[in-house]
Structure formats: structure tokens, C-alpha cells
């Protein structure tokens, strides 16, 4: 679920909702989501003020006062909900936003802020998400961040071409590799490859620079449109107010196996690449082999 556009939507929503607020309390229903000693985590962030919320690749970064930053990855099904908490601290009953698609049974962490009854709930059905806090000055050394490639929306056309030409493997594998370029996942690689008329299994060394340029442009176009639409809601993604994204309504190939290509009318096909379903139009995205 959460690829760059979804994480970007959440980051903006969080920034809006909690910047300037101070963390009063953290409650763990399932502390395993925090990938370090929970008591230390709690002690480190409590009483700190939220300075801002950023995104790096598919990671969320919540900057706190006194030089601390919370790193969050949402995995497949993680999400935040901005909520109202009743005044009695011990009993945390979560009043969910009306449109929320996240089952309360998978609430794992509850943050309470000093201001009003504001709270934040971390929900994650599959528990693949992770959260930890680190010293902001060490950001360059955090293993998760250190490995990331250039931001998908910041890389220039020439850098993009330089990085992808002369590689051997299949284009989709490389696009999914966060160490090469950060932010794309299964949905947006398929949508971008369709937009650029490139077969997902295309070997990169057979792609001309002009084609890579098309792909770079396609990625920007798809991601920017998806951000404008608030991301894609397939199963249980929603923003911090429980609202669904709308970009799934504009998917041209993802999840459309057997349906007709919106451009040429042929049936969309599905193949496996790196154990991941890959959707494409066989007519619009021909495979070139040597």
C-alpha cells in the first residue's frame, strides 16, 4: 500500500495535524512495532515537541525538539489516524474518524499530545511496519536511510539515464530497488512503465537513452498525479483522517488483469517478476529482445 504518494499524503497530513504539539504519552498495545527498547523509545520522545514531518523514499521522518527524529516505515498495511482521545488517560478508547477503513483490532501504538485531546494511533494489520527514534545528527548513518537511492521525484533526467543504462537486469526489478531509486513500489512501477510503453520484463541494456528519458518523465507524471489524488486506496490505505485516496480510479494497468487496455483495447496481462504481480498491456508495452 504505502508507496511514495501515500507516504507523502500521510506526511503532509501529519505535519498539518501535529506540528507544534508536544507528546504527552505513548501507549503500546503491541510494542513490537517499535524496533528498539520500548521504554527507552518512550522516554526519549515524551515531552518533546513535534518540529515537522518529512518523507524520504517510503519512510516518514518526524522531527522532534532536542535533536531527535522518529523514523517510521509503514510496511504493507501500516497507517496513522489522527484521533480524539477522552480525558481519562488510563482508559484509551479510540474514537475513530468516521470513514476509517482500519480495523481497531490492529491498533498498536497510541500517542497522546499535551494539546487538547489530540492523539495519534498507529494501525498495522500485518505488523510489517517499524518505528524507532534516533539522533537527528546521525541521520546520514541510519542503516535504513543510508542505503536509499535518489528520490524518485528529485532525480534529474540525465542522472536517471546514467543510473539505469548499462544495467543488465529487468527494468521493473531495478525500479523496485530502493537503493537505486527511492519511492516506487509495485503499483507505481507498473503504472509508470505503462505510461512509458515499456514492458516490465524489459532488459535495461536494450533500452535506448530516449526511452529512459520517457520513463523518467512517466514516473514524474504518475507520481505527481497520484499525490494530487491523495494516493491509491486498494485494501486499507487511508489518510490520517480516514479518507481514501482516489488514484486507484485512474490505474491503467495495476490490478486490471483481463480488463481492456484504456488506450488500445487489448486485454491487460499479468506476469510475475521478483515474485510480484506485474500488470501490463502486451500491445502498448512490447518486449524488445536482442
Residues annotated as catalytic are 2-3, 58, 276
In the complex with DNA, which residue's Cβ is closer, 23 or 78? 78
109 binds DNA (CB under 7 A): no
For DNA, the closer of residues 106 and 199 by Cβ is 106
* 290 sits near DNA (criterion: CB under 7 A): no
5 binds DNA (CB under 7 A): no
Q: Which of 5, 13, 57, 97 binds DNA (CB under 7 A)?
A: 57
**Whole-number Å distance between alpha carbons of 70 and 53:** 9
| Neighbour tally for 289: CB within 10 Å | 9
Q: Which of 94, 173, 243, 282 binds DNA (CB under 7 A)?
A: 173
Torsion of CA 13, 14, 20, 23, to 10 degrees: 150
Rounded to whole angstroms, what are the CA distances from 205 to 37, 272, 290?
46, 20, 10
Q: How far is the CB of 52 from DNA (least distance, A)?
A: 22
Select the span of 12-20, 21-29, 131-139, 229-237 touching DNA (CB under 7 A): 229-237
Query: Looking only at Cα atoms, what is the longest distance across the chain?
Result: 69
Only one of the segments 33-41, 43-51, 90-98, 163-171 lies at the binding site for DNA (rule: CB under 7 A); that segment is: 163-171
Contacts of 181 (CB under 8 A, 6+ apart): 149, 150, 151, 152, 155, 160, 163, 174, 175
Residue 128 interacts with DNA (CB under 7 A)?
Answer: yes
DSSP structure string for 81-136: EEEE--S-SSS---B--TT--S-GGGEEEEEEESSTTEEEEEEESS---EEEEEEG
Contacts of 272 (CB under 8 A, 6+ apart): 278
- CB 239 within 8 Å of CB 10: yes
The residue (of 118 and 163) whose beta carbon lies closer to DNA is 163
Number of residues this chain uses to bind DNA (CB under 7 A) = 41
To the nearest whole angstrom, how small is the minimum distance from the Cβ of residue 256 to DNA?
Answer: 12
Among 49, 139, 144, 241, binds DNA (CB under 7 A): 144
- Which residue lies nearer to DNA by CB, 21 or 255? 255
Query: Where does this chain bind DNA (CB under 7 A)?
Result: 1-3, 57-58, 73, 75-77, 103, 105-106, 125-128, 143-144, 147, 167-170, 173-174, 176, 178, 185-187, 232-237, 273-277
Amino acid at each position: 500500500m504505502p508507496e511514495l504518494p501515500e507516504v507523502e499524503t500521510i506526511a503532509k497530513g501529519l505535519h498539518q495535524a501535529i506540528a507544534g504539539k508536544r507528546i504527552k504519552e505513548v501507549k503500546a498495545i503491541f510494542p513490537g512495532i517499535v524496533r528498539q527498547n520500548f521504554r527507552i523509545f518512550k522516554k526519549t520522545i515524551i515531552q518533546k515537541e513535534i518540529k515537522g514531518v518529512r518523507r524520504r523514499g517510503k519512510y516518514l521522518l518526524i522531527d522532534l525538539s532536542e535533536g531527535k527524529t522518529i523514523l517510521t516505515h509503514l510496511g504493507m498495511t501500516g497507517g496513522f489516524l489522527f484521533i480524539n482521545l477522552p480525558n481519562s488517560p488510563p482508559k484509551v478508547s479510540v474514537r475513530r474518524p468516521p470513514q476509517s477503513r482500519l480495523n481497531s483490532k490492529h491498533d498498536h501504538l497510541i500517542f497522546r499530545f499535551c494539546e487538547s485531546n489530540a492523539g495519534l494511533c498507529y494501525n498495522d494489520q500485518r505488523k510489517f511496519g517499524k518505528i524507532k527514534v534516533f539522533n537527528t545528527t546521525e541521520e546520514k548513518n541510519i542503516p535504513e536511510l543510508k542505503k536509499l537511492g535518489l528520490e524518485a521525484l528529485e532525480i534529474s533526467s540525465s542522472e536517471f539515464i546514467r543510473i539505469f543504462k548499462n544495467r543488465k537486469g529487468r527494468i521493473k526489478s531495478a525500479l523496485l530497488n530502493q537503493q537505486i531509486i527511492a519511492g516506487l513500489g509495485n503499483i507505481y512501477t507498473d503504472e509508470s512503465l505503462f505510461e512509458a510503453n515499456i514492458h516490465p520484463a524489459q532488459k535495461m541494456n536494450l533500452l535506448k537513452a530516449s526511452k529512459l528519458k520517457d520513463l523518467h518523465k512517466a514516473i514524474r507524471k504518475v507520481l505527481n498525479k497520484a499525490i494530487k489524488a491523495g494516493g491509491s486506496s486498494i485494501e486499507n490505505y487511508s489518510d490520517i483522517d480516514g479518507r481514501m485516496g482516489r488514484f486507484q480510479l485512474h490505474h491503467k494497468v495495476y490490478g486490471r488483469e483481463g480488463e481492456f487496455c484504456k488506450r488500445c483495447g487489448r486485454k491487460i496481462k499479468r506476469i510475475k517478476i521478483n515474485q510480484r504481480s506485474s500488470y501490463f498491456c502486451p500491445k502498448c508495452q512490447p518486449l524488445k529482445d536482442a
